[in-house]
Structures are given as structure tokens and as C-alpha cells.
Chain A
Amino acid sequence: MSATAQSPKVQTNDPAILGFVDCDVHPYTKSPADLDAFLPKRWRELRQTIGARSRSPFVAAPNYPRMSPGTGMRMDAWPEDGGHPGSNLNMMREQLLDAFDVSFGMMMPLLGRGGDSRDVEFGAALCTAANEWEAQTWCDPEPRLKAAVQITTEYTEAAIKEIELRAGDRRFTHVMIPPRGLEPLGRRRYWKILEACAANNFPIALHLGGTSGHASTGGGWPSFYHEEHPSYPQSKEALVTSLVTEGVFEHIPNLRVALVEGGFAWLPSLSWRLDKHYKRLRAEVPHLKMLPSEYIRRNIWVTTQPMEEPEQPDDILATCEWIGWDRIMFSTDYPHWDQDDPRYALKVRIPEKEKRMLFRENALSFYNLTV
């Protein structure tokens, strides 16, 4: 594509970046009441009175206050209509979808708190409403945006029903599970849900989130967002450990999992660690038939944001090689403060072939997307 052929809004002429697949886009409601249109009366009233209750101390604020308004939004993403960043489709087009001629944006809505609701029936209703809202408000006017099937893992029947309801609807491409749930996701009690994902050909996007009520470190609750933010990779490590060790991938070999918003540089060391100690403790987990690293290599994909920034920028190349270039997918996390710009997030030159895999090809095949 030549620079002159571009609309003036297009912000790059790098062919590897143009048309990329963004594996983490956050749509927001203009107001929480936007979900009401999709909620039955009983739940609408509950939403307006008591509201969704999770396992955290505040009604609507996160445990750890962020460093910019709107719980950590990028400051140039506030629409003029007064809504929340990520709530205005035109602005999202201008800043992201059109700016880079994005092929697909994989939506990861963080709203409604359905997955976190302690009242699981209410949680299931909120998930259904949020899914309808996603499809109608975003996918219908902008088919490049692909919807997540949001579910509550604490209500197996409802979760499976929701997965089956959305299967076959081309607007929905992935099931999204907030990994900080009541128990690690690999535990047997969640297998029926995971089976349903695979049976309906949905890959799973595990976007950081959820209010488990468990301290965000094994040694208790930290004081600062300065500690909470870097605890995201620790959640991902526990997640990989659980899925692998419990034998999920032995039981459901075709399950495909993407880890979203946790970076990726921690993955090689975790693989080495699991392999090493598995050899000593294998009698405890006889259901595993391969090395942990082999399950990881086969069933797990990572997304890039928040991009790793090694002290020596070149070191990122070794990390990507150790993970496998075919398992890494670019994500912006628009419109959050820590989002990445596809043009500048990578500080080293990536070979063309690998760049195309990272920005586009891996995600197209992971999410079963056809252009």
C-alpha cells in the first residue's frame, strides 16, 4: 500500500502493521444504564438498587486506584460527547480501527461485573445482557469488532447455555473468562465449561480481571497500584500452571487459550520451572502425559500488551524465540493508559515474516477469522 493511497487519517504505511488484528479492545457503555435495555425487569431493578456485588470493598471502584481518571484511561481518549473512553465508536475508529486499517478488533468488555457477581443468577443475566449489548451496539454497526461471550464460571449451566446460544453467531469469536475467580481455572469444577468452549470451537481469551477476593499476592494484599499492576503476570503464571498441571490440555487437547493483558516475558522461565519440578513430582500428577512446556507450546498463546521493555531492547527477540513466534499476538488494550501503539511498542526491528505473524496471521488463525 502506498502512502498516497491512504486516507489522511491512516497513521502508518508499514504493511505489516496496516490491517493488523488487535487482540484486546475495550468497548465501554456511555452509562451503566445502557445494559438495562437488555435486562429483564427483575434484574434491571436489582441493578438499579443493590447492584452487582463482587468480592471487593467498593461499589464500583477498583481495589487499587489508577494513575489517571476513569480508572486508568488514556487521557486523549475522552470523547466530546462526555462519555467514557471506549464508548464512542467514531472515536474508536479514528484513534484505532481506521488509523491502522485494523482488520479485526477482539473485544474484551470489562463491564457489568457479571462474571464477578456473588449472586450467580444475576451474574448470568448481566453476562447475557452485556453480550447482547456488545453484538448490537458494536458488531452490528462495525463488523470488524468481534464480540466476546462473557460468562460466569460460578454457574456452570448458565455459562454453557450462553456459550451454546452464541455458537454459530459470527459476531462472537471467543469466550472471555476473568481469571481471578474463586478457584484456579484448571480445577475440575470448571471443566464442563471449558469442554463447551472447545466443543463449540470457541478459543478462550483470559483477559486479566475478576475479583476473586484472594489477595493479589500469596503474601497478602499489597499497598500500591505500583505493586498491583505488576501482579498481572503473576496471575497469568498461576493460570498457566493450573491449566497445565490439572491436565486440562490432556483432557481437552483442542482447547486454545490466549492470555490477554499480562505481557509474556515470564513465560519461558515458567516453562523451564514447571518442566524441572514436574520431573521430581510427576507421581503427584500421573495424568500428565507430556512435559508441561509441551502443553504450553501446543495450547497457549500470549498477547503482547503491556509490551515487555527489556533493559537491552534486543533481548525481546530471544524471549519471542523461546516462546515461539507463532504463539504471540499483538494487542493494544485501547483505550487504557497502558495501551500500546503498534508503530512504536516494539523497540527493535522484527524480521518481516515474524512481524506479519505477530500482527496478523497468528490471530487470524487463533480466532478462526477470515478477511
Chain B
Amino acid sequence: MARHVVATAGEIPVGGKKVVNPAGREICVFNVNGEHYALINRCPHEGAALSYGPVVGCFESKRPGEYALTRHGEMLRCPWHGWEFDIKTGQSWCHPESVKARTYKVEVVAGSHLAKGPFVAETVQVTVDGEYIVVEV
């Protein structure tokens, strides 16, 4: 496990995502209402790059004919067969226990803190007065 600096804080807008490549692993980092989450950029079904999928809410219903959109911006729909994943946990809507997209720990860390190391920053220039998105891989 190493901590990888993958973006500056604020670089990914709310509702946005960024594909990063720490340690040769393709990962998609999301900003869900100000919190950052990271999923492997590979659908557990047939391997689609999840980053092409739209970030959506949860389409729910209490009974036939009633519709409710909940958990705005917390779900990701796979760009191929449309399986829905909870961005925070990686769990799929249909089979939350058995089908999951791998998640990674993400933090926003102050540059001054990072200066104490250890961390890997391949593509991001780190300064002590910046804030950074760090993924643990």
C-alpha cells in the first residue's frame, strides 16, 4: 500500500470524475457532493471502463407507478449494460453482496502534511500550501 497524489483538491468538481493511474492501476475518482471516492475503472461484469458511465441518482419506487429519485449523484451507471453501482461502496444495485466494483481509500490531504511523507506524486506537483487528493493503492 502506498499513498498516491492523484489530483489537486478542487480539481474534480461536484458530480465530476477523473481517471487516474497510480501504480499502473486505472482508477476513477469521483466527487460526490464534496466527498471524494474512488472505484476501479473496470466494471465487474464485462470490463467496461466505468468512467464513461453517467453519474446518476438512485431510481427507486415504493409501489408500481410511483417514482422517487433519491441519493442524487451517488450512483454510477455502467456505460455498457447499465448495471448501477453505489459510488461510495462499489456495491451493485441488483446484487449488492456478490457484485461489487473495487473501492479505494481517498483522502484530501494538506500539502504541508504530505511533506512529511511518504507519498508518490507522479503527475501532480505538490506544494506545502496546496491541498491534494490522495488515493491509497
Asked if B49 is an interface residue, CB under 8 A from chain A, the answer is: yes
Taking CB atoms and an 8 Å cut-off, the chain A residues in 318-340 that contact chain B are 337-340
Chain B 70-107 interface 0/1 with A at a Cβ cutoff of 8 Å (1 = within): 00000000011110000000000000000000000000
On whether the beta carbons of A74 and B80 are closer than 8 Å, the reply is yes
A344 to B81, CA, bound (A): 13
On whether the beta carbons of A76 and B47 are closer than 8 Å, the reply is no
On whether the beta carbons of B46 and A74 are closer than 8 Å, the reply is no
On whether the beta carbons of B47 and A341 are closer than 8 Å, the reply is yes
Chain A 39-83 interface 0/1 with B at a Cβ cutoff of 8 Å (1 = within): 000000000000000000000000000011000001110000000
Asked if B119 is an interface residue, CB under 8 A from chain A, the answer is: no
Q: Which residue of B lies closest to A338 (CB)?
A: B81
Chain B residues lying within 8 Å of A337, measured Cβ to Cβ, are 80-82
Interface size class of B (residues with CB under 8 A): 10 to 19
Q: Smallest Cβ distance from A36 to chain B, in angstroms?
A: 32
On whether the beta carbons of A345 and B46 are closer than 8 Å, the reply is yes
Asked if A251 is an interface residue, CB under 8 A from chain B, the answer is: no
Asked if B53 is an interface residue, CB under 8 A from chain A, the answer is: yes
Asked if A9 is an interface residue, CB under 8 A from chain B, the answer is: no
Asked if A343 is an interface residue, CB under 8 A from chain B, the answer is: yes
- B49 interface neighbour in A67, A76, A344, Cβ under 8 Å: A76
On whether the beta carbons of B82 and A68 are closer than 8 Å, the reply is yes
On whether the beta carbons of A75 and B54 are closer than 8 Å, the reply is yes
Interface size class of A (residues with CB under 8 A): 10 to 19
On whether the beta carbons of B47 and A67 are closer than 8 Å, the reply is no
On whether the beta carbons of B79 and A74 are closer than 8 Å, the reply is yes
Most chain A beta-carbon neighbours within 10 Å: one of B45, B49, B54, B81:
B81
Asked if B48 is an interface residue, CB under 8 A from chain A, the answer is: yes
Most chain A beta-carbon neighbours within 10 Å: one of B47, B79, B80, B82:
B80
Chain A residues lying within 8 Å of B54, measured Cβ to Cβ, are 75
A345 to B48, CA, bound (A): 11
Chain B residues lying within 8 Å of A344, measured Cβ to Cβ, are 45-47
Q: Which residue of A lies closest to B52 (CB)?
A: A76
Q: Which residue of B lies closest to A309 (CB)?
A: B45
Q: Which residue of A lies closest to B47 (CB)?
A: A344
Q: Which residue of B lies closest to A341 (CB)?
A: B46
Q: Smallest Cβ distance from A25 to chain B, in angstroms?
A: 16
A362 to B79, CA, bound (A): 30
Chain A residues near B (Cβ < 8 Å): 67-68, 74-76, 337-341, 343-345
* Closest A-B pairs by Cβ, 9 of them: A75-B79, A76-B52, A344-B46, A341-B46, A75-B52, A344-B47, A76-B79, A74-B80, A67-B82
Interface contacts beyond A337-B81, A345-B46: sample of 10 additional A-B pairs, CB < 8 Å, sorted by A: A67-B82, A68-B79, A68-B82, A74-B79, A75-B54, A76-B48, A76-B49, A338-B80, A339-B80, A341-B80
* 24 A-B contacts (beta carbon < 8 Å): A67-B82, A68-B79, A74-B48, A74-B79, A74-B80, A75-B52, A75-B53, A75-B54, A76-B49, A76-B52, A76-B79, A76-B80, A337-B80, A338-B80, A339-B80, A340-B46, A341-B46, A341-B47, A341-B48, A341-B80, A344-B45, A344-B46, A344-B47, A345-B46
